[in-house]
Structure 1
Amino acid sequence: MRKKLTPKLLDNLPPAEGKRYEVRDELVTGLHIRVSNAGGKVWYLATRVDGVSRRIKLGTYPVLSLKDAREQAQMILRDIQLGTFQQRDIEPEPPVLTLGDVIPQFITRYAQRQTKDWKGTESILMRMNGLHVMPINAIKRGDVTRELERLISDIGAKGGKGTRANRGLAAIKKLYSWCVDQGIVENSPVVGLKPPIKEESRDRVLTDDEIIAYWKGCEAEGYPFEQFGKLLLLTGQRRDEIASMRWSEIDMHRGTLTLKAERTKNGSAHIVPLSRQALDILRSIPRFLNSEYVFTSTGKTPISGFGRFKDRLDTFVGMDAENWRFHDVRRTVATNMAILKVQPHIIEAVLNHKSGIVSGVASIYNRHAYLDEKHEALQIWGDYVEKLTAPKAPPIRHVSTGAETVAYS
């Protein structure tokens, strides 16, 4: 990180989370302060002495002030230029960081603070293990391209579409942008690199038979995935929004789920009316003592392992694993609401779409509007799902006994 240092900025530098970090001065070349996880701050000057890269320790802050550190650094640089510098307390340059070294720092210091899906970012970066041992400043554009091609090959062998490689490119672009800001590298090798896979918008919608199969597959799970999968279908909300539900977000009396802005993908607060069927499911869920999470197996964190859950659904109900995703459930809800004559702007309100029919200034004034209409729409959908998935009565067989006909079920 390169900044114009000020005493106020130095006083407010937070302790490192994990490995120590450095902040470079914009005014004096090579001057930087290193911050440890204990909050200690030490001045250093990075320069070359007799053609060899060296790191010279100047002293600790605030004993050595910003003004003193700059003056001392400038004196040393002058002496080196004049050839009169007497070597003292010089540290060799630290070993070059590898990508594997940088990923945990990037996740802790940037992704966890800035992105909601930081676990997904971490997961895809960890999959790019062919680059982990390489120095972060030595990775070339071609190295990244070859690693993305390997991801496509590996995922393709499992029947995937390879879009994970696009996620990998997006993640490593963010990582290198952060590295440039931190002064870890001077330039990013992936600037302007195009995604390796052309993605097409999906239009997959589950058929009625597939909805029935999905429902039966959920019922075979038990808590927590049974109720999670059913609520995903009944509400049409995003997977992580339902998976991370808190009891404090649910008002059983009013029949609503209230998602704060930080819990939604588009950053807009969202009220989800709950149908009678959704409320019945919530009432059936056991509560972990002192846990806020509706869906949890530990009481401390929300559920995960959605890929394994989907695999079990595929195996149990025989659905085409290559041809559906959990996000298709959301599209299925929207499509069926349209078939059931729900107005498009109400469907958008149910899905919490930020752009579309209701957008701009109108979206601000309509933030809490359509609550009754959303409730009606989700109840219509809930009734449809209930009717669709209800156990079918066995056919009636008529057996003639000669004198009379007896009906058997």
Structure 2
Amino acid sequence: MKQTFTTKSIEALKPATVKRYEVRDAKVQGLHIRVSTSGTRIFCVFVRRDQKRRRIKIGPYPMVSLADARRKAMELARDAELGTLKPQEPKEEGCPTLGKIIPDFIRLYAQPNTKDWKGTQSILKKFDPIARKRLNEIKRTDIVRILDDIVASGTPTRANRALAAIKKLMNWCVDRGVIETSPVAHLRPPTKEISRDRVLSHDEIKTLWHGAIAEGYPFAQFVHVLMLTGQRRGEVSGMRWSEINLDEGLWTLPANRVKNGRLHVVPLSSQAIDILKSIPRFMNSDLVFTTTGTTPISGFGRLKERLALSLPENTEDWRFHDFRRTVSTEMARLGVQPHVIDAVTNHKSGIVSGVGATYNRYSYLDEKREALELWAKELSRLAMKANLVTNG
């Protein structure tokens, strides 16, 4: 394909579908652009030296402008014609290995851009079997083999997460010019995911509430606040004292701690306030739920296993995230309006969408407080009027 390059025509080049393609410039002989599946555009030029045609990489667009690329291409062609073209210096290192690039990816991309970067770091460990392979040597079959092993181990959803993580890494490498194409471009997830619809029964709610009491501080209070507020596990476990106003009964989550990136205010029920007042504070620590004073609590898998011991053996599998769905369902049963439930859980369901979502900035604070108080009273009833304040 040949065309006269312009800034507009270069930006209009679509990502390759399966394999990278080239477009030649009609104005400067030898100058062309290679377009990858991620949409990365790299200027290159063909020159003849010692009766052999050589491709020389100039650089990625728009870091290298069209004018600079044409000027450089003509300089290289002139040097080749005059015999003064310097041989390309060998790189000190070849293409890096997957094991070497992962820490760079986590530090330069995942940490600044994703809240769950530790989860990404963890899931990428699944690719340890090919960590010593250079990126340009990794084949699609290498990735598929690892994904198949994850599925075979009984965690098909985790295989989907692993594919998503390795895709981001490979696309990041393509954008940086580390590799030309991603070996996993257009690779479909190995498993079709089904949205969870698990809602805890009233007996399960009561059992888990009482089971949490045996955990003591900080896990008992954590589980109870999780059940009372209906917020996400990471938001509750990372709760800061600086976010809480006990006098006004408000918990203000900053945008950088919320999944959708929007400040979220959670009214605290009287039961939640009593629980928070009972929690001992670590000196010079802002964390509410902590065992060290420096990091939030963790070990939720083990906590879930301990709590599950209080449930009947034939209990359907449950997760902490099911508390959110349970709270929403119970609020609906109690007559709370859907848009108020969405406001409580900070969830965008589509009930208020489009232009309405853009201009509707009302926070429903009073309605949220009323809904959470209503739910707290119901939870108290379900727990058989147990003492909701757990001692630290």
Give the TM-score of the pair, scaled to structure 1. 0.73
Distance 1:120 1:296, change over 3 A: same
Aligned to 2:36: none
Counterpart position of 1:101: 100
**What does 1:255-274 align with in structure 2 at a 5 Å threshold?**
255-274=249-268
**C-alpha displacement of 1:284:** 0.8
Once the two structures are TM-superposed, the CA of residue 367 in structure 1 deviates from its matched residue by: 3.1
Pairwise CA RMSD? 3.4
Aligned-residue offset at 1:74: 9.3
Determine which structure has more spread, i.e. the larger CA radius of gyration: 1
Distance between the aligned counterparts of 2:363 and 2:249, measured in 1? 16
Higher mean Cα deviation, 74-83 or 227-236? 74-83
Q: How many angstroms apart in 2 are the aligned matches of 1:319 and 1:182?
A: 52
Mapped contact 2:199–2:323 kept (Cα < 8 A): yes
Tell me which residue corresponds to 1:350: 344
Q: Structure 1 281/110 Cα, relative in aligned 2: closer, same or farther at 3 Å?
A: same
Partner Cα distance (1:319, 1:385) in 2: 24
Q: 2:165 pairs with 165, 168, 171, which one? A: 171
- In the alignment, what sits opposite 2:111? 112
Aligned equivalents of 1:204, 1:355: Cα separation in 2:
18
Residue 371 to residue 391, structure 1, CA distance change in 2 (3 Å): closer
Q: Aligned in 2, Cα 1:142/1:86: closer, same or farther, shift over 3 Å? A: closer
Contact (CA 8 Å) 1:259, 1:271: kept in 2 or not? yes
User: Structure 1 residue 132: deviation in Å?
Assistant: 1.3
Displacement after TM superposition at 1:125 (Å): 0.6
Letter in 1 for 2:330: N
- The match for 2:279 is 285
CA 1:348/1:72 → structure 2, altered by over 3 Å: closer, same or farther? closer
Alpha-carbon distance between aligned partners in 2 of 1:259 and 1:143, rounded to the nearest angstrom: 42
CA spacing shift, 1:351–1:391, aligned 2, 3 Å: closer
* 1:194 counterpart letter in structure 2: R
Shift of residue 127 of structure 1? 2.1
Deviation at 1:169, TM superposition (A): 0.8
The C-alpha deviation readout for 1:20-62, integer Å capped at 9, x for no partner, is xxxxxxxxx9xxxxxxxxxxxxxxxxxxx999x9xxxxxxxxx
1:124-155, CA deviations, whole angstroms, 9 ceiling, x for partnerless residues? 0112222212211111112111111111122x
Q: Post-superposition shift, 1:232?
A: 0.8
The verdict on how the C-alpha distance between 1:290 and 1:361 changes in structure 2, with shifts beyond 3 A counting, is farther
| Cα distance change on mapping 1:278 and 1:166 into 2, 3 Å | same
Corresponding residue for 2:176? 182
Q: In the TM superposition, what whole-angstrom CA distance separates every residue of 1:86-107 from its partner, at most 9, and x where no partner exists?
A: 889x555404311111111000
**2:208 and 2:310 in contact (8 A); partners too:** no
The CA deviation string for residues 213-241 of structure 1, in whole angstroms up to 9 with x for no partner, is: 21122111111111111111100111111
Who is 2:140 aligned against?
Answer: 141
Q: For residues 91 and 226 of structure 1, do their structure 2 counterparts lie closer, same or farther at Cα, with a shift above 3 Å needed?
A: same
Say whether 1:246 aligns with 2:245.
no
Residue 332 of structure 1: aligned partner:
326
- Checking the alignment, whether the CA contact within 8 Å between 1:232 and 1:239 is kept in structure 2 is yes
Q: Which residue of 2 aligns with 1:153?
A: 152
* Aligned 8 A contact 2:252 2:266 in 1: yes
Comparing 347-356 with 360-369, greater Cα deviation is found at 360-369
Question: What SS does the corresponding residue of 1:267 show, helix, strand or coil?
Answer: coil
Percentage of pairs with the same residue: 56
> Is the contact made by 1:210 and 1:319 (CA closer than 8 Å) also made in structure 2?
no
Q: Answer yes or no: is the 8 Å Cα contact 1:212–1:389 preserved in 2.
A: yes
SS class of match (1:257):
strand
Call closer, same or farther: CA 1:164–1:313 in 2, change over 3 Å: same
Contact 2:95–2:178 at 8 Å: present in 1 too? Answer: no
1:198 aligns with 2:195: no
CA contact (8 A) 2:255 2:261 kept: yes
Residue in 2 aligned with 1:400? none
Q: Against the structure 1 CA distance between its residues 246 and 74, is the aligned structure 2 distance closer, same or farther, given a 3 Å change threshold? A: farther
Gaps of 5+ in 2: 1-30, 32-48, 55-70, 387-392
Residue identity in the other structure for 2:266: V
5+ long unaligned stretches in structure 1:
1-28, 30-48, 54-70, 393-409
Residue 369 of structure 1 aligns to a residue in which SS? coil
Aligned length: 334
Given that 2:213 and 2:220 are in contact with CA atoms closer than 8 Å, whether structure 1 keeps it comes out as yes
Alpha-carbon spacing, 1:255–1:365, altered in 2? closer, same or farther (3 Å): farther
Amino acid at match of 1:244: G
- What per-residue deviation string (whole Å, max 9, x for no partner) do you get for residues 379-408 of structure 1? 11101111211368xxxxxxxxxxxxxxxx
Closer, same or farther: CA 94–285 of 1 in aligned 2, 3 Å: same
Q: In 2, distance between residues paired with 1:152 and 1:368?
A: 45
How far apart in 1 are the matches of 2:150 and 2:197? 25
How far residue 316 of structure 1 moved from its aligned partner, in angstroms, is 3.9
Residue 236 to residue 203, structure 1, CA distance change in 2 (3 Å): same
Going from structure 1 to structure 2, the CA distance change for 1:97 and 1:299 (only over 3 Å counts) comes to: same
**Higher RCO (CA-CA < 8 Å; seq separation 6+):** 2
* Distance of 2:227 and 2:144 partners within structure 1: 38
Distance of aligned partners of 1:271 and 1:86 in 2 relative to their CA distance in 1, 3 Å threshold: closer
